[in-house]
Amino acid sequence: MTRAVVTGLGVAAPNGLGTEAFWKATLAGRTGLAPLTRFDATQYPSVLAGEIKGFVAEDHIPSRLMPQTDHMTRIALAAADWAIGDAGADLRRLPEYGMGVVTAASGGAVEFGQRELENLWSKGKEHVSAYQSFAWFYAVNTGQISIRHKMRGPSGVLLTEQAGGIDALGHARRHIRKGTPLVVSGGVDAALCPWGWVPQIASGLMSTARDPDRAYLPFSADARGYVVGEGGAVIVVEDAASARERGAPRVYGEIAGYAATMDPAPGSGRPPGLRRAAENALADARLTARDIDVVFADGAGVLALDRAEAAAISGLFGPRGVPVTVPKTMTGRLLAGGAALDVATALLALRDGVIPPTVNVPDPAPDYGLDLVTDRPRDTAPRSALVLARGYGGFNAALVLRRTDD
């Protein structure tokens, strides 16, 4: 069977811009959560966010693209440049139709869309940008990456709310198996504007805390909702043989297993689908729970959701049977970018043999039966990882990663 491996990473996160800056901050336990500054959120119940700092779009985006791109797409294009650079410069010698782009999205470029709607309503239709025709669109990151890098192979976009980053990678692997040698995947999201904020508040799952260190506490008995952030990761996936042939400078790991499930309808009495997603991903990888060295949990930070995920993990691995971590406590949940960032983080953990910590949860609820990696990194030389993600509306996704030198 064709093996799909990751050969390039590009990270843009609230606690670090660029893969190594992010990884250093994450191992040091540095948070990117703080009061919102991108818009005046004081009239909303939730006022904290994970904002990317120091991103100067003009440094990364050509002049022609500036008027036609949202903040989200600019970050995605920068992260894609980094990921493609990381995968090796001779990538441009691959055939155009042998390279695809599959990313995750949630609501699209809502900040751009909101601005143009404001123009429409306050000034009239003559003031709406012609670029609104596509700049808001949820497939826009895929499209702009594809155009910029002349990647004309199979491409698409997946919308499974916060599970999307994993589903995009699963779909990328499908394209690899069907014969496309390289797919740029992952997800980057940025919805820190009123139009992006209100639907998150309406979910009832957002934290209304004011203290960034007490706002997002997954697996704590004090869990009170989550904080939203912006950013994500772009991930270059390749056919292992093709990557070797072109002399890819490094292989972070193999996408060994993938599965997605839907939760049953509320009130059906049947269990949620997360555990089944994890089991199916393990089976897909031809591995068992004993083979997994670390779990990157979804970590909703919502009591009922945390309890359900803890039951899934401890049911599958046994009580305290595997180290579990939620590094997104330092970034907030990045919507369509979150699961992609978790996958990138897991691959860095495999590369460096260290599990990054979960911050602000020194005392996870004991009855959850989780061995949560808290406060500081754990040097256990993990060689395989299970990444879990859930999206609002019943989406569950699981990805199994492993080092390829095993």
Q: Is 119 in the site for another protein (CB under 8 A)?
A: no
| Minimum distance from residue 127 beta carbon to another protein (Å) | 7
Pick between residue 43 and residue 63 the one whose CB is nearest to another protein.
Answer: 63
| Cβ at position 39, least distance to another protein in Å | 24
* Least distance from another protein to the Cβ atom of residue 140, Å: 14
Please select the residue that binds another protein; options are 21, 117, 129, 369, rule is CB under 8 A.
129
Tell me the two tokens of residue 356.
Answer: 């990054």
Minimum distance of another protein from residue 56's CB (angstroms): 16
Torsion sign across C-alpha atoms 43, 44, 50, 54: negative
> Using CB under 8 A, which of 131, 148, 250, 394 touches another protein?
131
Selected binder of another protein within 93, 126, 204, 247 (CB under 8 A): 126
Q: In the set 35, 45, 53, 133, which binds another protein (CB under 8 A)?
A: 133
Q: How far is the CB of 58 from another protein (least distance, A)?
A: 10
What's the Rg (C-alpha) of the chain?
Answer: 20
- In the complex, the smallest distance separating the C-beta of residue 119 from another protein, rounded to whole angstroms, is 11
Residues across the chain:
406
Q: For residue 56, state whether it binds another protein (rule: CB under 8 A).
A: no
Name the residue nearer to another protein (CB basis): 94 or 128: 128
Number of chain residues interacting with another protein (CB under 8 A): 13
CB of 124 or CB of 266, closer to another protein = 124
Site string for another protein, 57-96 (x = CB under 8 A): -----xxxxxxx----------------------------
Q: List residues near another protein by CB under 8 A.
A: 62-68, 126-127, 129-131, 133
